[in-house]
Chain A
Amino acid sequence: ETGVTQSPTHLIKTRGQQVTLRCSSQSGHNTVSWYQQALGQGPQFIFQYYREEENGRGNFPPRFSGLQFPNYSSELNVNALELDDSALYLCASSYTGTSREQYFGPGTRLTVT
């Protein structure tokens, strides 16, 4: 069984730039969720994708957008980066069914300077 993978591991960007983060789901999973985790905080839900459509969104502005592909991999795009966007970005995959357990990838550490 293949676990959740994310790329890149670390990224440094300048304020105002755009960034794309990538995630590959665990084998057999059809749902991907993205989270932002600031230092000392719990993960904050950004959005979820199921069958290539956004299936829920947290309290994040529209400059946070995403995609899910037919193979259930996903991208998180953030435009017009702000300093406060510096965080660990986590992707979690799950199978939409009776069990809704989510399994996290290793994360991407984004630093905005």
Chain B
Amino acid sequence: DVKVTQSSRYLVKRTGEKVFLECVQDMDHENMFWYRQDPGLGLRLIYFSYDVKMKEKGDIPEGYSVSREKKERFSLILESASTNQTSMYLCASSLPGAITEAFFGQGTRLTVV
């Protein structure tokens, strides 16, 4: 069974902390994505990557960075967590191309206090 695994289901961090959210996929997918999901706003794309060491900003990259050192792993980094980054974070992966489906992880609910 194909899988996208996010390292934590729930996370509580303090304001100002550096936070790492990890995502691993076992499907050898080139593309990986990070979204955040907030009530009333739907899913918003933070960053995506189409190859190892490649990254591109999505719609709301401010306050975030990413790392893709290996094909299977895509990390989202909150350099200095703030309360407005309290959210559900979803990782996804897909093959390249116009007609491939994306597979999502279960999500990490991050609370910044």
Say whether A and B bind each other. Answer: no
B interface residues with partner A (beta carbon < 8 Å): none
A interface residues with partner B (beta carbon < 8 Å): none
